[in-house]
Amino acid sequence: MISVYQGIDIVEVPGIMKVIQKNKGFVESVFTERELEYCMAHKNRYQHFAGRFAAKEACLKALGRGLSAAGIDNALKEIEVINLASGRPDLQVKGWVAAACRGKGIYQQTVSISHTGQYAVASVVMLGKML
């Protein structure tokens, strides 16, 4: 039997911009080096930071967890949003998040990100086999 896990998150771009500008350690604690390089290379970098943050939160929601769940330390950095050659975003997971995916038998995942000047939204859908 196949199980479907879905998560969605929305982030206010001005809010993430304020957090990043006030707390320089935030970027390093949440985003990987590749994500940082990707976002900084864009004129509207805060939209991209917000989109990636929303994707990470949506991934955790799809796994049935939130940022306050036990064992969640560093989970946001364990979820990396990359872009495939086609430009489509994809997720790479490691550590605790990868273990949570294995525990649910996740064998396929998709992520979609959209953003404007005010909001970024992301949706994650995961397919898993009942173990």
pLDDT digits (tens, 9 = 90+) for 31-86: 999 999 999 999 999 999 999 999 999 999 999 987 665 455 678 999 999 999 99
Q: Which pLDDT does position 67 carry in this prediction? A: 67
The answer to whether the beta carbons of residues 83 and 90 sit under 8 Å apart is yes
Which CATH number fits the domain that encloses residue 58? 3.90.470.20
Helices 45-62 and 13-22, axial angle in degrees (round to 10): 100
* Full domain range(s) for residue 58: 2-129
- Select from 99, 26, 35 the least CA-distant residue to 63: 99
CA-to-CA distance for 32 and 37, rounded, in angstroms? Answer: 9
In a 3-state reduction of DSSP, which class is residue 18?
A: helix
